[in-house]
């Protein structure tokens, strides 16, 4: 049985994550199915590609050679697909788009408009956290990546498409809601619910307070904006969030933005891709769409249902 493209894709994911389980989550496969694909690849090549030492997984020398070959093969396949799509123009094609989780509050509107205008374009959308996004960007796994900031040293082309203000958030009845021009020293006495280490929002907030000789006391660390908002609503503490995440809670009034001195922290939404990467016609068209329309989409926020009428109480 010959080596398959599917085996290469699975092996590449396992090597990147150093985990069968995380590779299975990315590929929407079961862990046994991922393990079986790698085992079949090893059997076909007659060499061990992965080795375990304790709980860590490592590539063998043969594994490193196969990983390089897999990348070249998969990139070659994508280049071929892009060139064929270029020949067809925007009548059909595929756009591989990755966004950080905070961008999901405005990206559906932009994608919807683009797909309506270009119904022949198939979109593969990956929503992930910032650290995983940077790994995908460095490995050129997607056509375009949308994130809050690109770190120095990553050789990419990045274009700002919209503002991304970071705000301090509290439950509606928190005592700080009524105060104005709150000093950072006062807020640093509170406890915070923060995103995971490496999150762009957390990095920006920590940088702001560190520059003033302060630290953010953390009560809880959560991996999603929705979980953080629910924790704040539950009275567990304050949070630093992108303002783009607060449309529904702002409408209902259950969360309030604090008037904190020095805030909002102004950041930029950026669309990025590796320098030297050939963009397909679909990717170039979507990038132009982002540059032209992202600012308005971010300012408008997600589409929400009409506010419910107030319920009279006796």
Q: Domains of the chain (ranges plus CATH)?
A: 5-70 (1.10.10.10), 78-162+268-300 (3.40.190.10), 164-267 (3.40.190.10)
CA dihedral 226, 228, 232, 238 (to 10 degrees): -140
Tokens representing 22 are 């995380």
Is the model's pLDDT at 227 over the cut of 60?
Answer: yes
Is the model's pLDDT at 309 over the cut of 50?
Answer: no
Q: Do 201 and 240 form a contact (C-beta atoms < 8 A)?
A: yes
What is the SS3 assignment for 218? strand
Is the model's pLDDT at 23 over the cut of 70?
Answer: yes
- Residues belonging to the chain: 314
pLDDT tens string 34-72: 999 999 999 999 999 999 887 788 899 999 999 999 999
pLDDT tens string 254-277: 999 999 999 999 999 999 999 988
Rounded mean pLDDT, 240-249: 89
pLDDT tens string 156-194: 999 999 999 999 999 999 999 999 999 999 999 999 999
Counting residues of the chain whose pLDDT is more than 90, the rounded percentage is: 61
State the Cα angle at 164 between 214 and 303, rounded to 5°: 130
Tokens representing 19 are 């985990």
User: Is 5 exposed, middle or buried (CB count within 10 Å of its CB: 0-12, 13-18, 19+)?
Assistant: exposed
pLDDT tens string 88-140: 666 677 899 999 999 998 999 999 999 999 888 899 999 999 889 999 999 89
Model-level pTM greater than 0.95?
no
Tokens representing 65 are 């050679």
Is the model's pLDDT at 307 over the cut of 70?
Answer: no
CA–CA separation, 143 and 146 (whole Å): 10
């Amino acid at each position: 049985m010959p080596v398959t493209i599917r085996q290469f894709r699975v092996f590449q994911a396992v090597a990147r994550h150093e985990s069968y389980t995380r590779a299975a989550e990315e590929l929407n496969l079961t862990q046994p199915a991922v393990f079986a694909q790698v085992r079949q690849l090893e059997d076909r090549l007659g060499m061990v590609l992965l080795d375990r030492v304790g709980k860590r997984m490592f590539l063998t020398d043969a594994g490193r050679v196969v990983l390089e070959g897999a990348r070249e093969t998969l990139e070659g396949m994508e280049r071929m697909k892009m060139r064929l799509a270029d020949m067809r123009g925007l009548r059909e094609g595929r756009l591989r788009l990755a966004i950080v989780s905070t961008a999901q509050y405005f990206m559906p509107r932009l994608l919807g408009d683009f797909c309506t205008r270009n119904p022949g374009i198939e979109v593969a959308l990956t929503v992930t956290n910032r650290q995983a996004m940077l790994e995908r960007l460095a490995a050129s796994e997607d056509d375009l990546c949308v994130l809050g900031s690109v770190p120095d040293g990553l050789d990419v082309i990045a274009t700002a498409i919209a503002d991304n203000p970071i705000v301090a958030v509290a439950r509606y009845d928190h005592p700080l809601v009524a105060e104005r021009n709150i000093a950072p020293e006062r807020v640093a006495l509170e406890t915070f619910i923060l995103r995971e280490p490496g999150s762009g929002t957390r990095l920006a907030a920590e940088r702001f307070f560190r520059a003033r000789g302060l630290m953010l006391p953390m009560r809880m660390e959560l991996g999603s904006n929705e979980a953080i908002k629910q924790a704040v609503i539950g009275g567990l503490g304050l949070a630093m969030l992108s303002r783009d995440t607060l449309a529904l809670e702002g409408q209902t009034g259950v969360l309030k933005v604090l008037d904190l001195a020095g805030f909002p922290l102004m950041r930029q939404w950026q669309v990025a891709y590796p320098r030297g990467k050939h963009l397909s016609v679909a990717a170039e068209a979507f990038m132009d769409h982002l540059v032209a329309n992202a600012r308005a989409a971010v300012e408008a926020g997600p589409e929400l249902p009409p506010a419910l009428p107030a319920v009279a109480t006796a």
